[in-house]
Amino acid sequence: METLVMPAINFAAIMPETILSIVAMVLLLLNVFVPGEQKAYLAYLSLIGIVVAFFSVVSGWNAPLPMQEGFNGSVLQDNFSLFFKAIFLISAGLAVLISDHYMVKEECNYGELYPLILFATAGMMLMASGTDLMTIFLGLEVLSVSLYVLAGYNRSNIKSNEAGLKYFLLGAFSTGFLLYGMALTYGATGTTKIAKIASAAALDATLSSNPMFVVGMLLMAVGFSFKIAAAPFHMWTPDVYEGAPTPMTAFMSAGPKAAGFAAFIRVLMVAMPTLKADWSDLLWILAVLTMTVGNIIALSQNNIKRMLAYSSIAHAGYALVGFTAGNGEGTAGILFYMLSYAFMNIGAFAIIILVGKKGEPNNNVEDYAGFGVKHPVLAMIMALFLFSLAGMPPTAGFVGKFYLFSAALKSGYVWLVVIGVLNSAASCYYYLRVMVYMYMKDPVEEFDWMKLSPAIWASIAISAVGVIVPGIVPSIILQLAQKAILL
Amino acid sequence: MAMNYPILTILIFLPLAGALALVPFWRRERWAKGIAMGCAVVELALAGRLLFAAAGLPAASGAPGGYFLWEDHVWIERFGIRYTLGMDGISLLMVALTAFITLLAMLVSWRGIRERVPLHYLMLLVMESGIMGVFLAQDLFLFYLFWEVMLIPMFFLIGIWGHGRRIYSAVKFFIYTMAGSLLMLLAIIGIYLIHGARGGNYTFALHDLIGTPLDPGTALWLFAAFLFAFAIKVPVFPLHTWLPDAHTDAPTAGSVILAGLLLKTGAYGLIRFGYPLFPTAAKAVTPLLLTLAVIGIVYGSWVAYAQEDMKRLVAYSSVGHMGFVALGIAVWSPVALSGAVLQMVNHGITTGALFALVGMLDERTDTREISAYGGLWGKVPLLAFFFLLFSMASAGLPGLNNFVGEFLILAGAFRVTPVAVVIAFVGIVLPLIYTVRLVQQLLFVEERRPLTLPDLSLREGAILAVLALTAVYLGVHPAPLLGLLKVSVALLTGGLP
Amino acid sequence: MLEKYLILSAILFSIGTLGVLIRRNAIVIFMCVEMMLNAVNLTFIALSKHLGNIDGQVFVFFVMTVAAAEAAVGLALMIAFFKNRESIDVEDINVMKL
C-alpha cells in the first residue's frame, strides 16, 4: 500500500506566527465588547499571546531540519530566524507594556493597538524566516500595513497624522522598488526561492554580469535600505519617529529595523554569495553614509524623540559595518546588537513616555533639566540606557559594538572601523547632552505629573536588566548568536 | 602571609559594592558619607597591609615574573577574554596611591560639598573601583573596560559639582578621552586579531600578547593608537588642552583625583601596555616622545608662571611634572623608569595636597585669584606653613619627595640624551621661579583685601599633616618603595636597551 | 517579444516613480505608487510566460492583494489627515521640520 504524500505544509515552522495571528484576531473581536476604560485587559491578553509565542520560539531552537521547513520550502524556521523572532517578541512585549500608560494619557486608547502590534510582529517573523522572495514580501507588507496604522494611530493629533501619511507614502514607494528588484531577479534566475537563486548563481557564472540580475539586486538593496533607514534612504525616519505615538516609535526603531536586517542578510548572504565583492563595496558606502549622516544630524537635534530617531539611523550604520564584514562574526554581531538595541532604545523611550505630558509638548532636551535631582533612580536608569547607546562599557551596547567592529577588522576593513569609531566618539556628545540637562542643570519643573504604573516599571526594569546583564556576562547570548548565523 | 582570598577582586569591587549600597541612602547624607568613608578606609587598610607584606610575598603561581598576586578566570570564552588581575611592585604602589588619594578626596570634600552629597560619594567610590581596575587588569579587554568606566564618574564630578564653565569642561574632558580610548580599542582588537591569526589562539591576555611578532608598519600604527590614548591622559604636550579646563572647573575632590590618579593611569598604561607590547615601535618614536616630554616640562612651567588663578597654576604645573614622568618613560632605563613611577606617586601626593590647600582657601574666601590674597603667613600660620612646605616639595626641593623622582629620571636620562636633560634642567628651575612668586604673593606680601580667614580645622590639619609626613618620608627614605619596584622595572626594561 | 513587455513595464515604472517625486497631491502620489506596482505585475507576468513557470503569476496575486490592503489603510490615513488639515497636499505635511 502506498503512503499518501502530504503536501509539504508544516505548521510547526510558522507556529509563533500562527499563535500571534490567532490571538490578534481574537483580540479584534473582543475589542468590540471591551469598554473604553478596560482596554488594559487587551494588553494583558496580548502579553499572554506574546509569551506563548516566545515559548514556541524557544522550543523550536535547534530543531531538526524537516521540522524547520514549511510550505514547500517557502519558510524556514532555522536558528537564525528564531533568534530574530525572539528579538521581535521582546520588542513587541516591551512596546505593549509601555503602551497602555501612553494611550490613556493621550486619550487614544482605542484597543486596536494591541492586535496591530501582534500582526506587525507576525509580519516581521515571516520576513525573518522567509526563504522565498514571495514570503519575504508578504511578511514585509503585513508588517508595513500594520505600522502605517500604528504610526498614525493618534488620529486626533496632527503630528501623528503626518507621520502615518508620510510613512505610508514613502513606505509604499520603497515597496515598489523592492518588488521590481524581486521581479528582475526572478526573471534572471527563473525562481523566487532564495536557495534556488543561489544555486542558479553558482551554476551560471555569467549571471553575476547579467544586467537584469545586477539591477534586480540593486533595487532590492534600495528597498531594504529604505526599511532599515540607511542613508541616503532615511529621509522618512525622523518625521515618522517624531510624529508617531512614542511607544510605537520605540517599537518601530527596534523590531522592524531588525526585521529589515533579517531579510536583507538572508537575501544577500544566501542568494548572492557570488556577488559578495560587489555588495560588500555597496554596503561599505551605505554604512559610512548611514553612520555619519545619522550622527551629524543628531548632534543638532533638540527634540529628544527626533534625536533618538537620528541616532537609530546611526545605529543601523553600525550594524551595517558588521554586515559589510560579510563573515559569520559580523552576522552574529548584528544579531547581538539588534537584541541589545531593542532593550536600550525601548528603555529610553519608556522614560520619555513617563516624562512626557499630554500631547508631549515637553520632549525637548531642555525639559529634562534637573530630572536627576527629582527622580534620581529613573535618571540613573536613563543614564544607563544612554551610556549603552553611546557604547560605553559595561553595557550591552559596548559588547555589541565591539563585536561588530572586531568582525569588520577581521575582514580587513580598517578604515571603515576607524570611521565607525570616530562616529561613535562624536555620538557621545548628544547622549551626554541629555545627561548634562538631567544632572547638571537646575530643575525648572517639579515632574509631578509623572505617574508610574507597574507596567511601565516592569518594562524599564526588564530593559535595564537586558542592557546590564549582557554587558557583564555576554557569553550565553554570544553563544546563541553564534549558533544562529547562516552558513 | 598567605593570600587565600581574592584580595585583588575585593580591592576592585568593594568600592563598587559600597556605591550600590549608597543608593538606598540617597536622602540620608550622614549615612551615605559614613558608608563611603568606611569603604575608603577598608580599601586603604587592605592596600596598606599589602604594602607592608609585599616584600615577603613569594611569586604567584601561574603568573609571569614579578607578580606576587594573581587571579585568573575565564570570562567571555567566545572572544578569549579572561578576568585576569595581577599585582606587581608597580601596581602595588599605584593601588596604594589610589586608596590614599581617594580617602583624601573624600576628606577634603567633607564640608565643601553640600548638594547631592550621596551622589558625590557614590561617584567617588565608582571612580575608585575603575582606577583600581585599571591598575590591576592584566587582560587588555578588562583593562579597557575599567579605563572607560573611570571616565563616567569624573564627567559627573566635574559637571555637577564643578565651578565656572563646568559643563563645557566636563564634556570636553569626556569627548577628548573617549576619542583617544576608542582608537586604543581598535589597536587592542588589531593586536588580538593579528596574534590570533598567527597561532589560532585568540586571546586578550597581556602576557600572551607580549612578543607577538608584528611587521614594523603595523606595529607603529597600533602603538600610535595606544600612545594617543595614554598621552591624552598623561597629558603629553600638545594633547594637554583639556587638563587646565577640567582642573580649574572641577570641585576640589575632582581635582585631587584628576591630578593624583587619572593622570597616572596614562603613564601607567604606557609602562604596562604600550611599551611592552610594541617595543620596536616604541623605540622608533622615542625621539618624538622625548622632545614632547621636554617641551611639556618647559611649557607647563612657563605657562604656570603666567597664571593668576591658583588652581590653573597648579594644573599647569602638573603638565610640567608629568612631562618628567613622560621623559622617564621615554628613556626606558631601569633608573629612569623607577624614577618615573616614584615621581607618579610623589606628584600624586604633592599636587593632591596643593589642590586640597587651594580648595580650602577657596572654601573660605570664594576666590582663587592670587592677587586677592596676601599676608597669610601672619594670619593663618598653620595653613601658610603647609602651603610653603608643599610648594617647595612641588618645586623639587631636596629632602622632599619630588626631588627624588626628578633626580632619578634625570640621572637615568643623562646617559641616553644629555641634550634633553640639559633642557629639562630649565624645567627644574622654572618651577622654583613660579613657586617663589606664588608663595611670596600669597604668604608674605602685605594683605591686599581684608579677608576673614579662620585657620585650619582639625580635620584639615590632620589631612595635611599626614600628607606632609608622607612627603617628607618619601623624600628622605625612598628606598623601600624603590625596592618594591626593582624586580618589575628590571623585567620591563630588559627588552629595551 | 519579452523585451517589449519589459521595456513597457520599465517605462510604466519610471512614470510612476516620476509621478511620486513631482506630484503634490497625496492621492495622485498613491495612484502613481499603484502604477509602479502594476508595472511590476506586468514584468512578473511577462517573465512567467517567458520562463514557462507559474511562480511569477502567483506573485502577482499577492501583489494585488497587498495593494488592496495598502489602499484601504492609505486612504484611511488620508482621511484622518484631511480631517485635521482640510488638505491632502503633501506641501502641507509640514508640522515637523528638519
- The answer to whether the CB atoms of C84 and A156 lie below 8 A apart is yes
CA distance A300 to B413: 49
User: Which B residues 39-78 touch A at CB under 8 Å?
Assistant: 75-78
Read off the C-alpha cell for A477.
547570548
Q: What are the two backbone dihedrals, phi and then psi, of residue A302, each rounded to the nearest 5 degrees?
A: -110, -35
> Which chain C residue's Cα is nearest to A161?
C81
Helix B166-199 to helix B242-249 angle (10° resolution) is 130
For chain A, the residues whose C-beta falls within 8 A of a C-beta of chain C are: 133-134, 137-138, 141, 144-145, 148-149, 152, 155-156, 158-159, 161-162, 164-166, 168-169, 172-173, 175-176, 179-180, 182-184, 186-187, 190-192, 238-239, 242-243, 297, 306
- Selected for mutation to probe chain A from B167, B192, B198, B202 (highest A CB count within 10 Å) is B167
CA distance B165 to A427: 22
Among B96, B113, B102, CA closest to B38? B102
| CB proximity B390 to A under 8 Å | no
Q: A406: distance to nearest CA of chain C, Å? A: 34
Residue B267: inside a domain? no
- The answer to whether the CB atoms of A161 and C30 lie below 8 A apart is no
Which residue type is seen at B318? Answer: S
- Per residue of chain B (497 residues), what is the pLDDT tens digit? 446 678 888 889 999 998 888 888 878 888 888 888 899 999 999 988 888 887 777 777 777 877 888 888 888 888 888 898 988 888 998 999 999 999 988 888 887 778 888 888 999 999 999 999 999 999 999 999 999 998 899 999 998 888 888 889 899 888 888 888 888 999 999 889 888 888 778 888 888 888 888 888 888 999 999 999 999 888 888 888 888 888 888 888 888 898 889 889 999 999 999 888 888 888 888 888 888 988 888 888 888 888 888 888 888 888 888 888 888 888 888 888 888 999 899 898 988 888 888 888 888 887 788 877 777 787 788 888 888 888 888 888 887 888 888 888 888 888 877 887 787 777 778 888 888 888 888 788 777 777 777 877 888 888 889 889 988 888 888 888 888 888 888 888 874 43
pLDDT digit string, tens, across residues C11-31: 999 999 999 989 888 899 999
Quickly list H helices, B441-497: 458-476, 479-493
pLDDT value of position B274? 87
Determine contact, residues B130/B150, Cβ cutoff 8 Å.
yes
- The answer to whether the CB atoms of B78 and A475 lie below 8 A apart is yes
Neighbors of chain A by Cβ distance (3+ pairs < 8 Å):
B, C
Residues of C in contact with A134 (CB under 8 A): 55, 58-59, 62
Which residues are bridge partners to B73 per DSSP? B83
pLDDT value of position A5? 66
> Which chain A residue's Cα is nearest to B76?
A475
Q: How far apart are the first and last CA of chain B?
A: 36
pLDDT value of position C98? 45
Residues of B in contact with A475 (CB under 8 A): 75-78
Among B390, B388, B410, CA closest to B346? B390
Q: Which of helix, strand or coil describes residue B454? A: coil
CA distance A234 to A242: 14
Residue B469: inside a domain? yes
pLDDT value of position A141? 94
Q: B462: distance to nearest CA of chain A, Å? A: 32
Residues of A in contact with B182 (CB under 8 A): 421-422, 424-425
Among A124, A61, A114, CA closest to A89? A124
Q: How many CA atoms lie within 13 A of B453 on its CB side?
A: 26
Read off the C-alpha cell for A304.
529628544
Stated as kind and residue range, the H or E segment containing B133 is helix B117-136
Dihedral over Cα of B158, B162, B167, B172: its sign: negative
Neighbors of chain C by Cβ distance (3+ pairs < 8 Å):
A
Cis before B235? omega within 30: yes
Residue B367: inside a domain? yes
CA distance A201 to A195: 10
> Which chain C residue's Cα is nearest to A305?
C96
> Which chain B residue's Cα is nearest to A373?
B116
CA-to-CA separations, B27 to A49, A376, B33, in angstroms, rounded = 42, 10, 11
Q: What are the two backbone dihedrals, phi and then psi, of residue B74, each rounded to the nearest 5 degrees?
A: -70, 140
- The answer to whether the CB atoms of A168 and C77 lie below 8 A apart is yes
Alpha carbon of residue B27 to chain centroid = 32
- The answer to whether the CB atoms of C96 and A145 lie below 8 A apart is no
pLDDT value of position A7? 64
**Chains B and C are in contact, defined as 3 or more C-beta pairs closer than 8 angstroms:** no
pLDDT value of position C96? 66
Q: Which of helix, strand or coil describes residue A74? A: coil
Residues of A in contact with B156 (CB under 8 A): 439
Q: C22: distance to nearest CA of chain A, Å? A: 13
Residue B249: inside a domain? no
Among A316, A247, A322, CA closest to A91? A247
Stated as kind and residue range, the H or E segment containing B72 is strand B69-76
B78, B144, B170 ranked by CB distance to A478: nearest: B78
Q: How far apart are the first and last CA of chain A?
A: 40
C39, C62, C95 ranked by CB distance to A137: nearest: C62
Query: Between A and C, how many CB-CB pairs are < 8 A?
Result: 127
CA distance B60 to B35: 33
- The answer to whether the CB atoms of C90 and A169 lie below 8 A apart is yes
Residues of B in contact with A407 (CB under 8 A): none
Read off the C-alpha cell for A52.
506563548
Q: What are the two backbone dihedrals, phi and then psi, of residue A426, each rounded to the nearest 5 degrees?
A: -65, -35
Query: Between A and B, how many CB-CB pairs are < 8 A?
Result: 78
* pLDDT at residue C94 is higher than 80: no
Q: Which of helix, strand or coil describes residue A7? A: coil
Which class is domain C2-87?
mainly alpha
| CB proximity B182 to A under 8 Å | yes
Residue B421: inside a domain? yes
Domain ranges of chain C: 2-87
Determine contact, residues A89/A136, Cβ cutoff 8 Å.
no
Residues of A in contact with C47 (CB under 8 A): 183, 186-187
| CB proximity A22 to B under 8 Å | no
The stretches in chain A having pLDDT less than 70 are 1-7, 487
DSSP code, position C89: B
For chain C, the residues whose C-beta falls within 8 A of a C-beta of chain A are: 6, 13, 16-17, 20, 26, 29-30, 33, 36-37, 39-40, 43-44, 47, 50-51, 53, 55-56, 58-59, 62-63, 66, 69-70, 73-74, 76-78, 80-81, 83-85, 90, 93-96, 98
Q: C30: distance to nearest CA of chain A, Å? A: 7
Decide the pairing of beta strands B81-87 and A75-76: unpaired
Neighbors of chain B by Cβ distance (3+ pairs < 8 Å):
A
Q: The domain containing residue B478 runs over which residues?
A: 286-497
> Which chain A residue's Cα is nearest to C28?
A169
| CB proximity B173 to A under 8 Å | no
Determine contact, residues B196/B202, Cβ cutoff 8 Å.
yes
- The answer to whether the CB atoms of C96 and A242 lie below 8 A apart is yes
C26, C43, C80 ranked by CB distance to A155: nearest: C80
Q: How far apart are the first and last CA of chain C?
A: 48
Determine contact, residues B297/B324, Cβ cutoff 8 Å.
yes
CA distance A2 to A48: 43
Of residues A104 and C60, which shows the higher confidence score? C60
> Which chain A residue's Cα is nearest to C72?
A145
pLDDT value of position B432? 82
One DSSP character per residue, C7-58 reads: HHHHHHHHHHHHHHHH--BHHHHHHHHHHHHHHHHHHHHHHHHHHT-THHHH
- The answer to whether the CB atoms of C56 and A159 lie below 8 A apart is no
Phi/psi region, residue A229 (left: phi>0; alpha: psi -120 to 50; beta: rest), is: left
Contacts of A63-68 spanning 24+ positions with Cβ under 8 A: A63/A12, A66/A10, A67/A10, A67/A12, A67/A13, A68/A13
- The answer to whether the CB atoms of A440 and B116 lie below 8 A apart is no
Total number of domains in chain B: 1
Instruction: Enter the pTM of the model.
Output: 0.92
Label residues C29-57 b or e (16+ Cβ within 10 Å = b).
Answer: bbebbbbbbbbbbbbbbbbbebbeeebbe
Read off the C-alpha cell for A341.
538595541
> Rounded mean pLDDT of chain C?
89
- The answer to whether the CB atoms of A409 and B179 lie below 8 A apart is no
